[in-house]
Chains A and B, each alone.
Chain A
Amino acid sequence: MTTADLAAAAPTDRAEHHYELLRQMLRIRRFEERCVQLYSATKIRGFLHLYIGEEAVAAGAMAALTPADAIVSTYREHGHALARGIAMHSVMAEMYGKATGCSRGRGGSMHLFDAATRFYGGNAIVGGGLPLAVGLALADQMADRPVVTACFFGDGAVAEGEFHECLNLAALWHLPVLFCCENNLYAMGTRIDRAHAVTNLAARAAAYGLSAVDVDGMDVLAVETQTRAAAEFVRAGHGPYFLEFRTYRYRAHSMYDPDRYREKAEIAQWQQHDPIDALVRRMRGDAELDDDALARLDAEIAAEIDAAVQAAEEAPLEPIEDLTRFVYAESRSHDG
């Protein structure tokens, strides 16, 4: 669906579309809320970086991309993975470290990966995915494929060297990369104005010759519209595009973070602009959603999560005998 199609869509289609965006945001939030419980119950171990508050970015951006497009993500990627279409049971099994997980239990929360949906991974190195996106886009450009690589990263990554190397290279080579910066104002526990001399990140990108705009990352419709326009620009061969989504995470950086670097009032203030509440209000106002429909949606999502948890509980572990599998290629695809 193009931007023009969306504007011209009949009211019923529009309502269905809004319902789908709401459904994706709610799936992400409820999934992660369950992950917190499972973490407390020690079913999920290691790191867990929650996306709660930022759901509009994943839901809106993924709605604007096609299955042929590639995604590169971060360690805060549960939302991206779910919205991209990786089955929830596969994501949940990976959180458990089970063999049925999308990375066979070798990845975990930060390394969700699914080649089938061109989801080229969570990445636990800040800024680590940007060069990969440049390479994916280079391969698409060489093959003349009308494909966009959407590369998600946070405001923290803007301080890394790769950011500057990659924006320059993508602009220099007119590569089809859609840089999606999720500016949630905090790089772990350091507020953006304590880490960056210039906090307008879109302006930083523009300095490299990229088209760049900032977007209200708490408004899923704005995210979708801007991403669609940017993706069309990139797909048409005009070179890379930079979107700065201004968003906010309600929860701590990770489950290890006591979150002592910001006021509770600041969190509460952002929650006034909650992307799910905002869309629900809008849909109710436009008579696109009623209590029954919302209750049905909640029940459907709860059932999906219950099923994912049950499947993860029952799934087998990767056998220890397979410990050394996949370090090196098992067969050569190329003739000698």
Chain B
Amino acid sequence: MAGVKTDSGTITYREAVAEGIAREMRRDPTVICLGEDIGPAGGVFKTTAGLFEEFGPQRIWDTPISEQAIVGAAMGAAMTGIRPVAEIMFSDFLACCWDYLANEIPKVRYMTGGQVTVPLVIRTANGGGLGFGAQHSQAVENWALAIPGLKIVAPSTPADVIGLMASAIRSDDPVVFFEHKGLFASKGPRPPEGHHVELGRAAVVREGTDVTLLALASTVHTALAAADRLAEDGISAEVVDLRCLIPMDLTTVLASVAKTSRLVTVEENPYQAGWGATVVSVVVDEGFHLLDAPVRRVASANVPLPFADALENEVMPTADKVVAAVRSVANF
């Protein structure tokens, strides 16, 4: 049968996107997809490959290049109980339909006193490192963090893509689902049918005792690489994958900091107004007594992301930068 591949064993992050959507579409006929090139083309990143063949044009809607219509129509359909999964091809293009993310979708439930909910997902390819230039490479998860009413998901592994996609689609609240472009080719175990990961549950992906590295999506892998290097120096780093920015699992963050007494955030969004600033403000507010050293934030530089490899690498967080940040606080 044509459709989404269902081999057992391993799965790529890219395949996991289509698999995660397909699993929900099979169990819930109200789930539909809208977006540019998502149908026969299979998605510009092939993240929707097989969906059109399996579910057909009444559930997989190819749209014109009309971001406002895509996201606004998803909202309109969602108000009637449909569960749309709308794709905005690159997260940079969220700016083209920001009115719907900032003014319409997150507010309608509140402004109507709960008369309607908008159970929709906006999926988008986020992040840099691929030389796509300043308008196709940004990590913009912090944009969404400025808006009460949205939930924000950014998985780091194929299993989490599937598990969080299930929860995002089933959520009665609007979810912005950031898929990282740099992770599409990465592989991991294929989770069993029925796998889902609750929104707002961070994962301790490496245990440690000396410092907490708090990361999201691509930077989970950066932090893990840094943790390997730090182990060679005798520094035991705990790596926490935040998974979601809203709901934000501050309980797990504070518990980790209680253990390690040191915190370094590893963020791909720019340092200015990056998500780490929000986390750190809470840690300082509620967990100041837990800390033995200043908190460090490793984030992208406050510049538009440049094209040239050497420049782009300089802007983005790297394992080297994380190692340096940890060393700066290790013996404080």
Contacts and interface: CB of A to CB of B under 8 A. Distances in A.
Interface of A: 72, 103-107, 111, 113-115, 120-121, 123, 125, 128, 130-140, 142, 161-162, 165-166, 168-169, 172-173, 325-334, 336
A135 B77 contact: yes
B134 interface: no
Contacts of A128: 72, 99, 103-104
A142 B58 contact: yes
B112 A136 contact: no
B72 A329 contact: no
B155 to A, nearest CB: 18
Nearest to B151: A328
Contact of A135 (B66, B73, B115): B73
A138 B112 contact: no
Contacts of B75: 131-132, 135
A146 to B, nearest CB: 15
B115 A114 contact: yes
Given A136-B76, A138-B77, A327-B149, A107 B112 contact: yes
B113 A139 contact: no
Given A133-B76, A162-B69, A328-B149, A106 B173 contact: no
A326 B109 contact: yes
15 contacts: A107-B111, A113-B111, A120-B76, A121-B108, A131-B72, A131-B76, A132-B75, A135-B84, A138-B73, A142-B32, A161-B68, A165-B68, A326-B114, A329-B109, A329-B117
Interface string B46-70: 0000000000001001011010110
A103 B111 contact: yes
Contacts of B167: 336
Given A132-B104, A162-B69, A332-B170, A104 B77 contact: no
Contacts of B81: 139
B202 interface: no
Given A106-B112, A326-B113, A139 B80 contact: yes
A213 to B, nearest CB: 24
Contacts, number: 147
A169 B68 contact: no
A329 B74 CA distance: 18
B116 interface: yes
Max chain B Cβ within 10 angstroms of own Cβ: one of A120, A131, A326, A332: A131
B72 A130 contact: yes
A162 B71 CA distance: 11
Max chain B Cβ within 10 angstroms of own Cβ: one of A111, A128, A134: A134
B148 interface: yes
Contacts of A107: 111-113
B174 to A, nearest CB: 9
B110 interface: yes
B78 interface: yes
A334 B73 contact: no
B69 A115 contact: no
B78 A135 contact: yes
Max chain A Cβ within 10 angstroms of own Cβ: one of B74, B75, B76: B76
Contacts of A139: 76-77, 80-82
B249 interface: no
A139 B103 CA distance: 22
Nearest to A120: B79
Contact of B172 (A104, A114, A142, A329): A329
A114 B100 CA distance: 20
Given A113-B111, A130-B72, A162-B72, A336 B170 contact: yes
A121 B79 CA distance: 11
B245 to A, nearest CB: 14
A239 to B, nearest CB: 16
Contacts of B108: 113, 121
B72 A106 contact: no
Nearest to A101: B113
B145 to A, nearest CB: 14
Given A107-B112, A111-B112, A113-B112, A165 B196 contact: no
Contacts of B149: 327-328
Interface in B157-194: 167, 170-173
Contact of A169 (B73, B77, B112, B116): B73
Given A121-B108, A136-B76, A136-B79, A162 B173 contact: no
B68 A131 contact: yes
Contacts of B64: 165, 168-169, 172
Max chain B Cβ within 10 angstroms of own Cβ: one of A132, A135, A165: A135
A334 B112 contact: no
A333 B151 CA distance: 17
Nearest to A118: B80
Contact of A168 (B58, B66, B76, B114): B66
Given A162-B69, A169-B73, A125 B114 contact: no
A137 B75 CA distance: 11
A121 B75 CA distance: 13
A104 B112 CA distance: 7
B196 A336 contact: yes
Interface in B103-131: 103-104, 108-117, 119
Contacts of A113: 108, 111-112, 115-116
Contacts of A114: 115
Given A107-B113, A132-B73, A169-B73, 12 more contacts: A103-B111, A114-B115, A115-B116, A131-B71, A131-B100, A132-B75, A134-B76, A135-B73, A135-B74, A327-B110, A328-B109, A331-B172
B112 A103 contact: yes
B28 interface: yes
B72 A104 contact: no
A202 B239 CA distance: 60
Contacts of B112: 103-104, 106-107, 111, 113, 115, 121, 326
A165 B113 contact: no
